[in-house]
Amino acid sequence: MLWVAPAASVNILLPRTGSIVFPHDDPGAGMADQGDIDERIRTYYREQFDEGARLTTRSSQGVLEHRRTQELIAEHVESGRVIDIGGATGVHALPLLQRGVEVELIDPVAEQVGKARTAGISARVGDARDLPFADDEFDAALMLGPLYHLAADDDRVRALREASRVTRSGGIVFAAALSREVAFQAATLTREPHLTSELTNLFENGAPIAGGRFPAGHFHTADELAAEVTASGLDLIDVHGVEGPNGLLLENVDVGNEQLTDAALALARRGSTIPGIRDLSIHLLAIARVP
């Protein structure tokens, strides 16, 4: 079973705080085991990390990410019924509910589902690759976490196809990924200045480095995300860089600095779909239409 959760910030790209793990120069390093990732996801979101706080009170990066993601959703979703796949505690679902959109949330972590229900959101435990809904039930689908927790491209395409299946023809699918370029930058800033096989594997293939607390499955380039969306049968509209090139810097800025956050948001909007610049965002967001 796939255990999914929504978006994450720079801390997920780095090793455990206070215990930097240097990569081993192992030429046999390869794809992570999905079963191990699944178990780590349950532990991470149940015991170690508050996803709702990350996007609202932890830092200006989370506020920027949340605002820009909601902006992009609002450009395509005004009403109807939305499925929030990997929706955690409902931090993205709740604003939709508040403007009259019906939302059904699904997440693998029971504790997060419980919090979403407490907030008034219809929610259940489930798997992004095997959604418990009939065809064409929704007008739009949010996938703001599943893809970067899946190591295999076949699983990622399968999850995208499931989102497409439960969304009506003409509906919109939003699929988030974590930027490979930002992950590589973060990794090189915390390690010895030489290119190990693990760093090479991250840069060339998007494979996470062992030892990090965050249970990552894969890091994307914008072009790779576009290719996976297309391979799933969806009609790609565009791939956006969510936070823009200054998102990483806002990780160390407290919530409340509206002038700085507004400036970063303006820059994020300006470079949102420009090739190269969008890969400098921590998060990428593909927007696609169901044929």
Q: pLDDT higher for 137 or 248? A: 137
- Of 18 and 176, more confident: 176
The per-residue pLDDT for 23 is 30
State how far the Cα of 105 lies from the Cα of 172, in Å rounded to an integer.
Answer: 16
Residue-level pLDDT at 109: 94
Helix (H, G, I), strand (E, B) or coil at 232: coil
Reference 151, options 212, 200, 86, 216; nearest CA is 216
Average pLDDT on 200-228 reads 94
What confidence score (pLDDT) does residue 22 get? 27
For the beta carbon of residue 135, count every other beta carbon within 10 angstroms. Answer: 9
CA distance 74 to 72: 5
Residue bearing the bigger pLDDT, 24 or 247: 247
CA atoms of 291 and 116, how far apart (whole Å):
31
- Reading the block at residue 268, the tokens are 């994020």
Whether the predicted pLDDT of 227 surpasses 90: yes
Residue 192 confidence (pLDDT): 65
pLDDT for position 2: 32
- Residue 88: the pLDDT is 95
Q: Residue 18 — pLDDT band, cuts 50, 70, 90? A: very low
pLDDT at 17: 28
Per-residue pLDDT, 191: 67
Cα separation, 278 vs 272, whole angstroms: 6
Q: What is the mean pLDDT of residues 265-270?
A: 97
Rounded to the nearest integer, the mean pLDDT of the chain is 88
pLDDT at residue 279 tops 80: yes
| Per-residue model confidence as pLDDT tens digits over 161-210 | 999 999 999 999 999 999 999 999 988 876 666 788 999 999 999 999 98
Distance CA 124, CA 167 (A): 18
pLDDT grade for 30, boundaries at 50, 70 and 90: low
Q: How far is CA 116 from CA 18, 52, 169, in A?
A: 32, 10, 28
Q: What is the pLDDT of residue 25?
A: 32
The answer for residues whose C-beta is within 8 angstroms of residue 145's C-beta and 6 or more apart is 4, 5, 6, 7, 8, 85, 86, 88, 176
d(CA 127, CA 1): 6
Task: Give the whole-angstrom CA distance, residue 169 versus residue 278.
Answer: 28
Q: Which of 15-19, 178-182, 226-230 is the least confident region?
A: 15-19
288: which residues sit within 8 A by CB, 6+ positions away?
A: 172, 173, 175, 229, 234, 235, 236, 237
Confidence grade of residue 9 (pLDDT, cut at 50, 70, 90): very low
